[in-house]
Structure formats: C-alpha cells, structure tokens
Amino acid sequence: MAKTPLSIVPGSDNAEVYNLSKGPESVAQRVKRLQEEAHMLALEEVQSLEAQMHAAVLKANEIAKGGEAYPAGVRELVERIASTLDAQVQTLQAIVERTWKN
C-alpha cells in the first residue's frame, strides 16, 4: 500500500498539532485546556464588542456633526451617547489589558 504524502491544510494557521505519542489527557489537563479555550473565546467576544462599540462611537460622531440634515435634538443626543460610549470603550480596553494581556 502506497503512503499518501502529507501536506499542510490551507487556512490552518491557528490549528494545534496534537502529539499522538503523548497519550490521552488526564482530567486535570483537559479541564485546564478547556478553561484556556473558554478564556480565549471570552477575550475574542469582548474584543468584538469593543470594536462594535467603537464603530458606534464613530457613527454617533458622524451624526452629531451632520449639520442641519439631522434635528438638533438628535445631534445633541448622539453627541452625549458618543462621549459616554467612548469612555466605556476606554474602560473596557483598560480592563482587558489588565486582565488578559498579562
């Protein structure tokens, strides 16, 4: 039987290689691995929220500076929203850097 040559799968930059000679994971190893995966997923979700909040700040600033195309009450409200949301984005970034970037 001819052996099939091995090749790298496209798009597998983040793939992990499992060492088959290592043996099965212990329960403690599995718990640790799953916790690490959960933390990575949580970080990705928080970073996604952060990006969406930043996009909302940019959109609110556009509307606030939109001139007479928007009613005065709308411009004032989105200006306050942008200010508040920007402060919250900065707080979120600080927490993420302090908590996850260590």
pLDDT at 9: 64
Decide if 63 is inside a domain: yes
Q: 77 or 25: which carries more pLDDT confidence?
A: 77
Whole-angstrom distance, CA of residue 48 vs CA of residue 11: 21
pTM exceeds 0.75: no
Amino acid at residue number 54: H
Q: Is residue 102's pLDDT more than 60?
A: no
Residue 22 confidence class, pLDDT cut points 50, 70, 90:
confident
What is the band of 25 on the pLDDT scale with cuts at 50, 70, 90?
Answer: confident
The reported pLDDT for the residue numbered 44 is: 94
User: How many domains would you assign to the chain?
Assistant: 1
Alpha carbons 38 and 41: distance in angstroms, whole number: 5
In a domain, 38, yes or no: no
Give CA–CA dist 29/45, Å, rounded: 24
Domain with 90 in it: 44-102
Contact 56, 98 (CB under 8 A): no
Answer whether 33's CB lies under 8 Å from 25's CB: yes
